[in-house]
Structure 1
Amino acid sequence: MATGTGTGDASASATEQAPVRLGVLGCASIARRRMLPALAARPELELTAVASRDLSKARAFTDEFGGQAVEGYAELLARDDVDAVYVPLPIMLHAEWVERALRAGKHVLCEKPLTRGLADAERLVKLADGLGLTLMESLMFVRHSQHTVVRELLDGGAIGELRSLTAEFAFPPKPAGDMRYDAVSGGALAEIGVYPFATALLYLGADLRVLGATVRRDEALGLDMSGAALLAAPDGTTAHLTWGMEHAYRSAYELWGSTGRIVVEWAYTPPSTHQPVIRVETQDRQERRTLPPDDQFGNVLAHFARAVRTGEDNGLQGEDILRLAALTEKAGAHAVALPGGDGE
């Protein structure tokens, strides 16, 4: 799974080309709060249209960010002035609308995870490849430059040989009626667990075994609310992952090596103005590295635009999508269900 900022490695001539004309399927909160503000700062892309089943919602977006409001997702896909679409719909709607977008000849940037299951992910990746279209998963955190620094420290021997990894991403319960409590959201493993699982793939490689997993289900909602998993790499390195939406907030991972530790706080959702701090601890010293701010949403957009223009697979596509889908599906299949709540 590749990392990188998406800025320094973009071709110098990218901004001289006509921008990729982007349409948005749905008026999700993540689009309004993070993706569309980032899009406004990327000359490689231009917002053409925003679609919603409720035209007033689409107009609220276009009044703020530009483009034309469209009633209905199919109407947006029929437009000739849309080269690519961003899909921030609930997870259980991804497979249908990603497929329809690809068959309409549009490149696709889809919120993570691409689908709820491996079979659908394989089908869509194969379809995009066959049509010569870019299909990218918006797993934005891996595009933040802080993880490139961590990789450099690890490869440089800053903590010796890696022995284990812990990754935790969870947040407190949302108000009643929040979309995450609707069955179309896919549950905590799909919505939140992908972050720690992607972290394990990032540092331990793709050949991971699931030694055990648990999920806590809310039977009234019909959703998993939290979970944990223990993974192992072929060399014996382990990963302990925790995720959920019923905890005090935490967004962090730690690499524990033979001579020290690397700790990354605010690993998954840092604002574009945040200066990340990487902590390196060994027996005789502690070092705190403060890094420049970086915009992981803008970086994903830049990589997507470049892939659309060049056809290059520069990560979060093809095999990266399938590795993450396979691992999370395997964890779900191994998971032991724990007693749940009543949905209140």
Structure 2
Amino acid sequence: MRRALPAMAASDAVELTAVAGRDAQRTREFADRFGCAADTYDGLLQRDDIDAVYVSVPTSLHVPWAERALRAGKHVLVEKPAGISAVEVGDLVRLAEERGLVLRENFMFLHHPQHEHVRGMVADGRLGTLRSFHGSFCIPPLREGDIRYDEALGGGALLDVGVYPLRAAQLILGERLTVAGATLRVRESDGLDLSGQATLASESGVLVTVDFGFEHTYGQSYTLWGSQARLSVDRAFTAPPTYQPVLVLEEQDHGERFTLPPSDQLAHGLAGFAAAVARAARTEGGAAADPAETAWRAAALETMELVDQVRKLAVRVTGDARVTGEG
């Protein structure tokens, strides 16, 4: 919400009508700051002047509140990940499709043009035959009491940062992935995952590895390695609006750096969501008949299926490397 509300208030694509929260005083402060109404969660869903809702509650509450919004006839932009398991996200996806409503997962990085540039270079054969993808998103330890350390609220490194390289692999490769194995380092007291790795494969045989965690110096990137060249993307997931991405291409006897224009991925995401809502309003069947929205729903479900596979296959170790079991 720290970035989303200012972006919504500044956007020409959406109109920020009301905010809701658990704390009435803080909600009023936000409303006054951004020039909109303050309401309760239930009150907001009953408003006739609202077309869509941004669900940014803790992860374990994404599906319950997104479901209530959809049943109230509202389009939904839900913070990533859409839920905590493929079963509940599948139910949410089917509800959105039945209602003809837009349901999008707010992975902001998907809207940055640098990734389309990468896909273009792969399609043009600059890397030769693609052999592997490696993605990472790791951050330093969080403050004590951070909700991401609370498993009941959908905490853990896999759901918070691990989903980013998984989703990036889906985007760049454009194929279904299968998890071959995984390792999670867990907190001994309660089994919460603090960091991890996973190995996957695409339908065409591209090998995929991802790293994620709450125990590292900060870093986020992905690398594509082909038969002729390697392409690296730094600051892949949270590029600020003024950041100029630099793609690094390395061949055996040659190297190139491609500096791309800055881009506001959050603004692009809001504009894309608003455009989808507008299309749904003028299309028979609403968003259910929109191929683009079908793809968004399918991707959200596939991401959670991968998360479930990682959990199922993971060997869990504690900080002193003792194995604590599988599944």
Question: What TM-score comes out, normalization by structure 1 length?
Answer: 0.86
- Tell me if structure 1 keeps the 8 A contact 2:250–2:256: yes
2:123 is the counterpart of 1:155: yes
Closer/same/farther in 2, CA of residues 205 and 148 from structure 1, 3 Å limit:
closer
Of 217-226 and 265-274, deviating more is 217-226
2:270 is the counterpart of 1:291: no
2:144 is the counterpart of 1:144: no
User: Which residue of 1 is the match for residue 311 of structure 2?
Assistant: 332
2:194 to 225, 235, 244: 225
Deviation, structure 1 residue 274: 0.6
1:314 to 292, 296, 299: 292
Aligned alpha-carbon RMSD (Å): 1.5
Note the 1:179-218 alignment, pairs <5 A: 179-183=147-151, 184-218=153-187
Supply the distance in 1 between the matched residues of 2:161 and 2:190 (Cα, whole angstroms).
17
Note the 1:19-98 alignment, pairs <5 A: 31-32=1-2, 34-70=3-39, 72-98=40-66
Note the 1:120-139 alignment, pairs <5 A: 120-139=88-107
AA in 1 matched with 2:100: G
Supply the distance in 2 between the matched residues of 1:168 and 1:330 (Cα, whole angstroms).
18
User: Which residue of 1 is the match for residue 206 of structure 2?
Assistant: 237
Q: Deviations over 1:199-254 (max 9, x none)?
A: 12123333322111011111335421111001112332101100111111110000
Deviation, structure 1 residue 298: 0.9
- Tell me if structure 2 keeps the 8 A contact 1:180–1:187: yes
AA in 2 matched with 1:139: F
User: Which residue of 1 is the match for residue 228 of structure 2?
Assistant: 259
Structure 1 segments, 4+ long, off by >3 Å, are none
User: Which residue of 2 is the match for residue 248 of structure 1?
Assistant: 217
2:269 is the counterpart of 1:300: yes
SS, match of residue 237 in structure 2 = coil
1:278 to 237, 247, 250: 247
Supply the distance in 1 between the matched residues of 2:258 and 2:173 (Cα, whole angstroms).
23
Supply the distance in 2 between the matched residues of 1:298 and 1:181 (Cα, whole angstroms).
29
Deviation, structure 1 residue 340: 3.9
AA in 1 matched with 2:318: P
Supply the distance in 2 between the matched residues of 1:239 and 1:163 (Cα, whole angstroms).
9
- Tell me if structure 2 keeps the 8 A contact 1:91–1:115: yes
Supply the distance in 2 between the matched residues of 1:282 and 1:206 (Cα, whole angstroms).
25
AA in 1 matched with 2:300: I
SS, match of residue 133 in structure 1 = coil
Supply the distance in 2 between the matched residues of 1:191 and 1:175 (Cα, whole angstroms).
15
Supply the distance in 2 between the matched residues of 1:88 and 1:40 (Cα, whole angstroms).
16
SS, match of residue 235 in structure 1 = coil
1:117 to 82, 85, 91: 85
Of 272-281 and 184-193, deviating more is 184-193
SS, match of residue 204 in structure 2 = coil
User: Between Structure 1 and Structure 2, how many residues are aligned?
Assistant: 309
AA in 2 matched with 1:53: R
Supply the distance in 1 between the matched residues of 2:37 and 2:262 (Cα, whole angstroms).
32
SS, match of residue 327 in structure 1 = helix
User: What's the % identity of the aligned pairs?
Assistant: 47
User: Which residue of 1 is the match for residue 285 of structure 2?
Assistant: none
Supply the distance in 1 between the matched residues of 2:227 and 2:181 (Cα, whole angstroms).
24
Question: What TM-score comes out, normalization by structure 2 length?
Answer: 0.91
Supply the distance in 2 between the matched residues of 1:307 and 1:286 (Cα, whole angstroms).
40
Unmatched 5+ stretches in structure 1: 1-30
- Tell me if structure 2 keeps the 8 A contact 1:116–1:186: no
Deviation, structure 1 residue 313: 4.5
Q: Deviations over 1:175-198 (max 9, x none)?
A: 111121122033111111110111
Closer/same/farther in 2, CA of residues 313 and 57 from structure 1, 3 Å limit:
farther
User: Which residue of 2 is the match for residue 23 of structure 1?
Assistant: none
